[in-house]
């Protein structure tokens, strides 16, 4: 069986196709042993947020690129003979005046059905994959910074105890007046909810998802999945010394990463400081992985806790 996840974000648009390998389990309470083999991954810097957050709509130029990209995705799914797919759009689509109109046009002209989700649904889908990364005896703050929104989740072990979506991200950053207000709201929310839901004397660890924290982790070259907060601060100071052009030409960052990595890093750092988390794990998973888990539940007709992954 092959499954595809299409994620149209505010900065990048991506599609991943996985082959699903399953075998019956002899373990109690486990019905299937499951593994994924990635057979296709495509990402394109569509940058819908640049349009929507400033013009409140998806402009004709972006529409043309979006339609071309989705036709490519559709052809790749056909070539790979995909059995089922899930297509999701996040903050740029839900805030665009013509977002719903675009969903209908895409369905009619290209044949891809899209679900436009809100921040809480985005956090819920992410939780499917994040919970599998957590240890039962630790407390966590999960920080996911996208182009237009930031999702914050607090976990007591593998149990999510609080969640909130904030309308700022790597494109709609913290340096504007509105961004600073939302950033303060985020920090206050983290402080209050950590105090209410998590033990005061127990350490809290951060988990980071999103393209920018993955790139920060890659640039830091720590040799493990973990970054210390001081490592991130040091890298942020280093990156701020370079102009946009220098980030592209000297550091070899893609243009859509070069102008979003520093704003995103500020959000991760502010969230970690508010939670008093001194380190962050970067497991290199994201929304597309949570979408794959949803597709698994649907197509195997069993719940995630009845599966064993390897």
Q: Where are the domains of the chain?
A: 2-119+288-309, 134-285
Average pLDDT for 239-262:
94
Q: Which pairing describes strands 279-281 and 307-309: parallel, antiparallel, or unpaired?
A: unpaired
Helices (H), 60-164: 60-79, 91-95, 99-109, 119-130
Task: Give the pLDDT of residue 40.
Answer: 96
Which CA distances in Å does 190 have to 4, 62, 277? 34, 35, 11
End-to-end CA distance of the chain: 17
User: Is residue 11 within 8 Å of 255, Cβ to Cβ?
Assistant: no
pLDDT at position 32: 67
**Cβ atoms of 204 and 198 closer than 8 Å:** yes
Name which of 11, 109, 93 is nearest 58 in CA terms.
93
Q: What is the pLDDT of residue 14?
A: 95
pLDDT of residue 310: 55
Q: What is the CATH number of domain 134-285?
A: 3.30.420.150
Give the C-alpha separation, 144 to 148, whole Å: 11
Range in 32-41, 53-62, 245-254 with the lowest mean pLDDT: 32-41
pLDDT, residue 103, reads 94
Q: Provide the 10 A C-beta neighbour count for residue 298.
A: 12
Select from 62, 69, 56 the least CA-distant residue to 98: 56
- Fold category of 2-119+288-309 in CATH: Nucleotidyltransferase; domain 5 (3.30.420)
The answer to whether the 2-119+288-309 and 134-285 domains have the same CATH topology is yes
Average pLDDT, integer, range 22-36 = 72
């Amino acid at each position: 069986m092959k499954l595809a996840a299409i994620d149209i974000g505010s900065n990048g648009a991506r599609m991943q196709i996985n082959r699903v390998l399953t075998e019956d389990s002899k373990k109690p309470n486990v019905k299937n042993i499951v593994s994924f083999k990635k057979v296709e991954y495509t990402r394109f810097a569509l940058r819908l947020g640049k349009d929507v957050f400033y013009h409140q709509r998806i402009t004709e130029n972006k529409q043309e690129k979006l339609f071309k990209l989705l036709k490519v995705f559709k052809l790749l799914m056909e070539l790979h003979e995909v059995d089922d797919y899930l297509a999701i759009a996040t903050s740029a689509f839900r805030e665009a005046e013509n977002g719903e109109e675009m969903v209908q046009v895409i369905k009619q002209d290209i044949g891809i059905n899209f679900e436009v989700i809100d921040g809480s649904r985005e956090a819920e889908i992410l939780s499917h994959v994040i919970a599998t990364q957590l240890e039962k005896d630790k407390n966590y703050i999960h920080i996911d910074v996208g182009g237009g929104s930031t999702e914050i989740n607090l976990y007591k072990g593998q149990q999510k105890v609080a969640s909130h979506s904030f309308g700022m991200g790597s494109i709609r950053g913290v340096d504007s007046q509105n961004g600073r207000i939302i950033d303060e709201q985020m920090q206050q929310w983290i402080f209050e909810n950590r105090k209410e839901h998590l033990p005061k004397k127990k350490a809290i660890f951060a988990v980071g998802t999103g393209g920018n924290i993955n790139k920060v982790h890659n640039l830091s070259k720590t040799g493990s999945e973990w970054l210390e907060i001081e490592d991130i601060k040091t890298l942020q100071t280093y990156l701020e010394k370079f102009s946009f052009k220098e980030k592209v030409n000297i550091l070899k960052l893609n243009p859509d990463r070069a102008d979003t990595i520093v704003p995103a890093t500020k959000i991760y750092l502010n969230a970690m400081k508010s939670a008093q988390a001194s380190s962050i794990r970067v497991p290199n998973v994201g929304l597309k992985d949570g979408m794959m888990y949803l597709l698994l539940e649907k197509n195997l007709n069993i719940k995630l806790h009845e599966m064993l992954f390897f």
